[in-house]
Amino acid sequence: MEYLSFELPIKELVDQYQTCSLVGEESGVDVKLACSQIEDKIIEKKKEIYENLTPWQRVQLSRHPDRPYTLDYIKGMVDQNSFLELHGDRNFADDPAMIGGLATLDGQKVMIIGTQKGRTTKERQYRRFGMPNPEGYRKALRLMKLAEKFGIPVVTLVDTPGAYPGLEAEERGQGEAIARNIFEMVQLKTPIFTYIIGEGASGGALGIGVGNKVYMLENTWYTVIAPESCSSILWRNWDHKEDAANALNLTPKDALREKFIDGIIEEPLGGAHYDPETTYLNLKNSILQNIKAFSKFTGQELETQRQEKFIAMGQFKG
């Protein structure tokens, strides 16, 4: 388990607990009471830290290297061996930063699409740190259209620092690909449910984020720009990233208050990586509940609801 800078007090207590347990095993001395007291302190310290996270600390937690990624959620949620990954945009290439395919959740057919990061250095480069190219967005749209054709609900999992900003991506129409996805998703006549499972930055997130329902996991963020990038624009360096995080109103509670999202999915104390199985179950239950709730909607009703939802965002009423 890796610890972030603000989690170091927890690490110290965990180290003490491990030492206490080791002493008991090696010496035969009864240390149950001492270890139990340390364990209680760990729980108290976790509550103290995680119930009072700053926006920047929540950004850090969303990037935790042990945090589950899209493929982890798919493996943890879908019926065994039911996920069939589909590749390519039928125009240029396949994009490993954007994955998607057919699966079943408790027998319910779904099309799952999401941005995918990597664990190792090699895989991170291969996945471009979860930053899709235009062909990634076009692949996602192709799969959504396929789902619409067969009346299958679409589930999108967002965890991206943004669309890939490389020269080649711009040459192949990065902006057009994202804009086209937004345009088409608004009109799709099948249910779309979007979940921010990590980072949700800018158009890179919105390119697969136009859903009938949009949710954020508890320790994620969703805004127009990453705090570091905002800091570099306003202050010409990254030193003010914490100030930027505060100003951007990027936390789930902020997004819910502004009605950008429809709900917050609870995570285990400390984050999804502390208990991935519980997080998978929470997300799966939300997906199935939404599929059931929207099952009686006609295609036109789904389109209208989605359009009205996004048109209402940012309206000023004087």
Rounded Cα distance, 197 and 156, in Å: 10
CATH number of the domain residue 270 falls in: 3.90.226.10
Q: What is the pLDDT of residue 318?
A: 64
Q: Would the pLDDT of 315 be above 80?
A: no
Asked whether residue 131 is domain-assigned, the answer is yes
**Of 146, 150, 138, residue with least CA distance to 179:** 138
Domain check: are 46 and 84 in the same one? no
The parent domain of residue 33 ranges over 5-52
Asked whether residue 127 is domain-assigned, the answer is yes
Token reading at 192: 């779309």
**Of 225, 196, 238, residue with least CA distance to 213:** 196
Domain check: are 219 and 271 in the same one? yes
Evaluate whether 157 touches 113 at the Cβ level (below 8 Å): yes
Domain check: are 239 and 97 in the same one? yes
38-64 pLDDT tens trace: 999 999 999 999 999 999 999 999 999
Q: Would the pLDDT of 131 be above 80?
A: yes
Rounded Cα distance, 180 and 249, in Å: 27
Q: What is the pLDDT of residue 314?
A: 78
Asked whether residue 208 is domain-assigned, the answer is yes
Asked whether residue 318 is domain-assigned, the answer is no
Q: How confident is the model at residue 105 (pLDDT cuts 50, 70, 90)?
A: very high
Rounded Cα distance, 164 and 149, in Å: 29
CA dist 34 → 37, 41, 79, 255, 270 (Å): 5, 11, 43, 43, 23
Rounded Cα distance, 277 and 260, in Å: 27
Domain check: are 91 and 235 in the same one? yes
DSSP structural state of residue 123? H
Asked whether residue 291 is domain-assigned, the answer is yes
Q: How confident is the model at residue 97 (pLDDT cuts 50, 70, 90)?
A: very high
Q: How confident is the model at residue 195 (pLDDT cuts 50, 70, 90)?
A: very high
135-172 pLDDT tens trace: 999 999 999 999 999 999 999 999 999 999 999 999 99
Close Cβ partners of 192 (under 8 Å, ≥ 6 residues apart): 144, 153, 154, 155, 156, 185, 210, 211, 212, 306
Domain check: are 72 and 120 in the same one? yes
Instruction: Return the percentage of the chain with pLDDT > 70, whole number.
Output: 99
Can you tell me the mean pLDDT for 92-103? 98
Can you tell me the mean pLDDT for 25-37? 85
CA dist 260 → 156, 188, 309 (Å): 16, 20, 9
Asked whether residue 316 is domain-assigned, the answer is no
Asked whether residue 77 is domain-assigned, the answer is yes
SS3 label, residue 265: strand
**Of 164, 291, 156, 281, residue with least CA distance to 216:** 156
Domain check: are 117 and 16 in the same one? no
Rounded Cα distance, 95 and 127, in Å: 8
Can you tell me the mean pLDDT for 112-121? 97
Asked whether residue 317 is domain-assigned, the answer is no
Domain check: are 166 and 275 in the same one? yes
Q: Which residues pair with 105 in a beta bridge?
A: 108
Token reading at 275: 């208990």
Rounded Cα distance, 200 and 181, in Å: 16
Summary mean pLDDT of the chain: 96
Domain check: are 138 and 45 in the same one? no
Evaluate whether 49 touches 9 at the Cβ level (below 8 Å): yes
210-258 pLDDT tens trace: 999 999 999 999 999 999 999 999 999 999 999 999 999 999 999 999 9
Domain check: are 37 and 186 in the same one? no
Q: What is the pLDDT of residue 50?
A: 96
- Domain final residue pick, 52, 70, 86: 52
- Domain final residue pick, 13, 34, 52: 52
Evaluate whether 83 touches 102 at the Cβ level (below 8 Å): yes
Domain check: are 89 and 228 in the same one? yes
Q: How many domains does the chain have?
A: 2
Domain check: are 184 and 303 in the same one? yes
Q: How confident is the model at residue 25 (pLDDT cuts 50, 70, 90)?
A: confident
Domain check: are 31 and 65 in the same one? no
Can you tell me the mean pLDDT for 168-197? 98
